[in-house]
Amino acid sequence: MLVSIYRYNPEVDDAPYMQDVEVNLPEGKDLMVLDVLNLMKEQDSTISYRRSCREGVCGSDGMNMNGKNGLACITPMSAVVKKNKLVLRPLPGLPVVRDLVVDMSQFYKQYEKIRPYLVNDNPAPAIERLQTPEEREKLDGLYECILCACCSTACPSFWWNPDKFVGPSGLLQAYRFLIDSRDTATQERLAELDDPFSVFRCHGIMNCVNVCPKGLNPTKAIGNIRSMLLQRAT
Amino acid sequence: MVTQVTSFGRSGLYDWMVQRVSAVVLSLYTIFIIGYLLLNPDLTYDQWSALFETTWMRIFSLLTLLSIGVHSWIGLWSVSTDYIKATGLRFFFQSLCGLAMFIYVVWGIQVLWGL
Residue A65 has pLDDT above 60, yes or no: yes
Residue A115 has pLDDT above 70, yes or no: yes
Q: What is the CATH number of the domain that holds B98?
A: 1.20.1300.10
- What's the pLDDT at A156? 96
Last residue of a domain, one of A49, A83, A102: A102
Q: Which residues of A171-196 are buried (b: 16+ CB within 10 A; e: fewer)?
A: bbbbbbbbbbeebebeeebbebbbbb
Q: In terms of domains, do A148 and A206 share one?
A: yes
Whether B2 sits inside 8 A of A157 (CB atoms) is no
Q: Tens digit of pLDDT for each residue in A20-57?
A: 999 999 988 999 999 999 999 999 999 999 999 999 99
Give the pLDDT mean for A124-153. Answer: 96
List the one residue out of A90, A86, A68, A89 whose CA is nearest residue A77. Answer: A86
User: In DSSP terms, which residues pair with A21 in a beta bridge?
Assistant: A3
Question: Rounded distance, CA A69 to CA A159, Å?
Answer: 14
Put simply, whether B16 touches A (Cβ < 8 Å) is yes
Cβ contacts of B2 on chain A, cutoff 8 Å? 164, 195-198
Residues A62 and A146 in one domain: no
Query: Are both A128 and A90 inside the same structural domain?
Result: no
Is residue A145 left, alpha or beta, with left meaning phi > 0 and alpha meaning psi from -120 to 50?
beta
Name the phi and psi angles at A225, rounded to 5: -65, -45
| Bridge partner list, A87 | A4
Residue B19 lies inside a defined structural domain of this protein: yes
* A4 bridge partner residues: A20, A87
Domain with A9 in it: what CATH number? 3.10.20.30
Which SS3 state, helix, strand or coil, does residue B83 take? Answer: helix
Task: Tell whether B3 is covered by a domain.
Answer: no
Report how many domains make up chain B: 1
Within a domain: B54: yes
A14 with A95, same domain: the answer is yes
Residues contacting A104, CB < 8 A, separation 6+: A94, A149
Q: Residues A98, A112: one domain?
A: no
Instruction: State residue A89's pLDDT score.
Output: 98
Q: How far apart are CA A12 and CA B24, in angstroms?
A: 56
C-beta neighbour count of A131 within 10 angstroms: 14
**Average of per-residue pLDDT values in chain A:** 95
**Structural domain span for residue A149:** 105-233
**The amino acid at A79:** A
Pair (A59, A117) in one structural domain: no
Report d(CA A189, CA A184) in Å as an integer. 10
Which of the listed residues A71, A102, A133 is the one where a domain comes to its end?
A102
Q: Does residue A120 share a domain with residue A22?
A: no
B39: containing domain: 12-113
The reply to whether B1 touches chain A by the CB within 8 Å rule is yes
Cβ-defined contact of A197 to B4 (cutoff 8 Å): yes
**A59 and A173 housed in the same domain:** no
A15 and A77 within one domain: yes
Query: Is there a domain that residue B2 lies in?
Result: no
Counted domains in chain A: 2
Window 46-85 of B: residues touching A by CB (8 A cutoff) are: 78, 81-83
Give mean pLDDT, residues A104-119: 96
Question: Are B16 and A198 in contact (CB < 8 Å)?
Answer: no
Whether B5 is in a domain gets the answer no
pLDDT in tens, A146-187: 999 999 999 999 999 999 999 999 999 999 999 999 999 999
Give the single-character DSSP code of B9: S
Q: Between chains, do A201 and B4 touch, taking CB under 8 Å as contact?
A: no
**What's the confidence (pLDDT) of residue A59?**
95
Q: Does residue B7 form part of some domain?
A: no
E strand residue ranges, chain A: 2-7, 17-22, 62-65, 68-71, 85-89, 96-98, 101-102
Per-block mean pLDDT, blocks of 10 residues, chain B (115 long): 78 92 98 96 92 93 95 94 94 94 93 77
In this complex, the residue of A157, A192, A229 whose CB is nearest that of residue B1 is A192
Q: Is residue B65 part of a domain?
A: yes
Residues A113 and A200 in one domain: yes
Put simply, the answer to whether B11 touches A195 (Cβ < 8 Å) is yes
Q: Whole-prediction pTM value?
A: 0.90
Same domain, A113 and A175: yes
Looking at the complex, does the CB of residue A127 fall below 8 Å from at least one CB of chain B?
A: no
Are A60 and A128 contained in the same domain?
A: no
Confidence at residue B115, expressed as pLDDT on a 0 to 100 scale: 54
Domain stop point among A102, A132, A154: A102
Say which CATH number the domain at A174 has.
1.10.1060.10
Residue B64 lies in a domain: yes
